[in-house]
Structure 1
Amino acid sequence: MLQVPKKIFVILTLLLCIALGILYWLQQSSHQHNQITLYGNVDIRQVEAAFYDTGRIVTILVQEGDNVKKGQLLAQLDPVRFQELIKQQQALLAAQQQLLNRLRNGSRPEEIEQARSEVSSAKANLINTQITYERQLELVKKQYVPKQNVDNALAAFITAKANLNHAQQTLKLALEGPRKEDIKAAEQQLKSYQSALALSQQELLDANLYAPESGVIENRILEPGDMVTPQAAVLTLALDNPIWVRAYIPETSLGLIHPGMPAEINSDSYPNQPFAGWIGYISPTAEFTPKNVETPELRTQLVYQVRIFACNTNHRLRLGMPITLHINLTDKLNSHLGNDPCSK
């Protein structure tokens, strides 16, 4: 009689285990239908930082692995050549400014008085030469002097008239001042020197190399003492915030995801420490599965590249790191991302 309840208990236990197993299987099946799992690798963007001008590097202020902020000074060229060019442009600008001031101010009062005095002197000389000519003309009629004296007096009289006319025109120019065209030309030349000075000052600023974005110094390509050109990179800057994971989704699952959907990023380097991400890009072009991603059987399937972005403020996710992605299809879109979600 005691064995019957024991058999019943064993049977009930087995039935309970079977029921729990079925329930677990149903839950897992439902979970799999609500979630997509993808596999990929961390990728980042890189910037080859270079100077705007040619010169010799005098200092590099960062080392490989240093975290830098946008606008931080990274390296410098020898500034002597740029500084001397600025001094030259400043001197040319100052000289042209004085020339323009002189043209705008016109003739000085002393110059006008000098011109008037020359006119008076020319008038007096004209009167004297006229009297001399008339006197010599009377004397030659009486044959007291040779005719050559008359010719000399006439030449002196004509010269005096020309000198008076020249002096009068000089006085007129002094009173009117410089031509408007000359002033305009001087003003344009001044603007040219101002632009040249501004360009020289900018070239001096460009002798400093600043970080174009926040990131990590990945490589020091050149060292102090090296000659550089604008085409030669000095430093390689890794832009690792945000990072993105390159993954591939089958064509059959493409309609289940949308840009902005949240995703969970998992790395073997940080077990049980998922990173929050979001779908930032879905390729418009289908391709065959890359050979380094799937097995030979799956390489013939059409897939689409997706990029899952994530903020990396602690710099824990690194280039090439293998990643497992989980996309919960029941999650709504992230409407709060904005243009730069990692700056918050």
Structure 2
Amino acid sequence: MRRTVIVGLLVASGAAAGAWWWLTRAERAPKPLALYGNVDLRQVQLAFNNSERISAVLAQEGDHVRRGQVLARLDQSRLEPQVAQAAAQVAAQWQVVERLHHGNRPEEIAQTRAQVAAQRSIVEKLRNGSRPEEIAQARANVIAAQAEAVNARRRYQRLKSLSAVRLPDQSQVQAVSQEELDDARAALDEAEAKLTVNQKALELVLAGPRQEEIAESEARLALNRKALELALAGPRKEDIAQAEAQLRGNEAQLAFLKQQLADTQLMAPADAVVRTRLLEMGEMSSPQRPVFSLAIIDPKWIRAYVSETDIGKLRPGMTASVTVDSFPNRHFEGWVGFISPVAEFTPKAVQIEELRTSLVYEVRVFVKDPSDELRLGMPATVSFPPDRRGPQALEVPR
């Protein structure tokens, strides 16, 4: 009997010890951590850089758009002629730079040499004075003019004498008409004028060129020689640098206008969903007036808040399981991408078990959503397995 009591006490003691060990073990075992928050993503407001009339709006609210997709366009009728003009100026200035780099053509140098040679001949001729042949020719011209003037004067005097003679039996009729006499007088005047011209020419030939003419001709020769030196030396480095600087300025202006022309197209910066269409075709755009409001579909995260007592259980890169009420049987893979270093009071929109006046830390749990099922603002539950860390090499989206 006594042995039975002892055995019973031992069994009872063992059962009590086992129960105590089990209960204390359960208390020591880490509990899964659950956070509650909402789906969040980045939103952008798209506006044109220029103020111009909108010519086309190509996206509707709710459309899924891809990165680089054109969503709207501005009127390009003002910019296209400016781009064409700037391109023509670049082409013209490029030709100037090329011409300066290559220097003067052989034909241009040969032409300048010919001008120098021609002007040198003129100077030598002026310095040497008139040639004997020229003087002899001038004297011959004077002699011929004198003979012509003598003959003209004799004829005129003869006709003048005859003009006073009356024909026999015709007292009123002259032997020479007045018209013939006038013609003879005109011929005499012309011969005397020609003689005067030839005499002046002979005087100039005998006197030779004036010093002023020689000086003027020598000055022209000096200018032609300087032009030849410049042609042989080619353009100056300063002229080439100036032309190249002008070319760069024209190219910069062309690039600026091309960028303005490209800015007439409003493109999606990333894969997104059109939330709001704010302007329509025909309205005036400006940098201060957004045309679209977009929701960027990647990355997505759950914005949740963790209490100060649980903040030590989270580490960046830790994996998590995310569920939403809309898809209760779906588990979205996630990881901790951001833990706020600053504590704050519990936001009114967040519900946790602790008091609202408790200090909490914002946590962002990024979620993989390849099917694009999560929507902005959806309530979500984030579950962390006890003492489980995700791979530290996970890339955390910024």
Q: TM-score, normalised by structure 1?
A: 0.78
| 8 Å contact from structure 1 (residues 34, 330) kept in 2 | no
| 8 Å contact from structure 2 (residues 100, 240) kept in 1 | yes
> Equivalences for 1:227-306 in 2 at 5 Å?
227-294=284-351, 298-306=355-363
Does 2:85 align with 1:88?
yes
Q: How far off its partner does 1:335 sit? A: 4.1
Structure 2: gaps (5+ residues): 1-18, 133-201
Answer 1 or 2: which has greater strand percent.
Answer: 1
Give the AA of the match of 2:299. Answer: P
C-alpha distance in structure 2 between counterparts of 1:31 and 1:61, whole Å: 61
Instruction: Call closer, same or farther: CA 1:243–1:219 in 2, change over 3 Å.
Output: same
C-alpha distance in structure 1 between counterparts of 2:338 and 2:397, whole Å: 15
C-alpha distance in structure 2 between counterparts of 1:59 and 1:32, whole Å: 63
State the Cα deviation string for residues 215-259 of structure 1 (Å, max 9, x = none). Answer: 211111111222212333221110233322222111111111212
Does 2:36 align with 1:39?
yes
Instruction: Call closer, same or farther: CA 1:72–1:150 in 2, change over 3 Å.
Output: same
Give the equivalent residue in structure 2 for 1:61: 58
What is the aligned length? 308
Q: SS state of the match for residue 109, structure 2?
A: helix
Give the equivalent residue in structure 2 for 1:204: 261
Give the equivalent residue in structure 2 for 1:163: 220
Does 2:317 align with 1:320?
no
C-alpha distance in structure 1 between counterparts of 2:297 and 2:227, whole Å: 76
C-alpha distance in structure 2 between counterparts of 1:203 and 1:64, whole Å: 27
Structure 1: gaps (5+ residues): 1-21, 136-144
Q: How far off its partner does 1:130 sit? A: 2.7
Rg larger in 1 or in 2? 2
| 8 Å contact from structure 1 (residues 220, 235) kept in 2 | yes
State the Cα deviation string for residues 86-109 of structure 1 (Å, max 9, x = none). Answer: 211111112112222332333334
Instruction: Call closer, same or farther: CA 1:112–1:324 in 2, change over 3 Å.
Output: closer
Does 2:115 align with 1:118?
yes
C-alpha distance in structure 1 between counterparts of 2:112 and 2:35, whole Å: 96
C-alpha distance in structure 2 between counterparts of 1:278 and 1:113, whole Å: 82
| 8 Å contact from structure 2 (residues 36, 381) kept in 1 | yes
| 8 Å contact from structure 1 (residues 257, 329) kept in 2 | no
C-alpha distance in structure 1 between counterparts of 2:234 and 2:254, whole Å: 30
C-alpha distance in structure 2 between counterparts of 1:50 and 1:286, whole Å: 36
Give the AA of the match of 1:121. Answer: A
C-alpha distance in structure 1 between counterparts of 2:125 and 2:298, whole Å: 97
C-alpha distance in structure 2 between counterparts of 1:269 and 1:124, whole Å: 105
Instruction: Call closer, same or farther: CA 1:214–1:32 in 2, change over 3 Å.
Output: farther
C-alpha distance in structure 2 between counterparts of 1:205 and 1:132, whole Å: 74
Give the AA of the match of 1:291. Answer: K
C-alpha distance in structure 1 between counterparts of 2:289 and 2:392, whole Å: 42
Q: How far off its partner does 1:113 sit? A: 3.3
Q: TM-score, normalised by structure 2?
A: 0.68
C-alpha distance in structure 1 between counterparts of 2:269 and 2:375, whole Å: 20
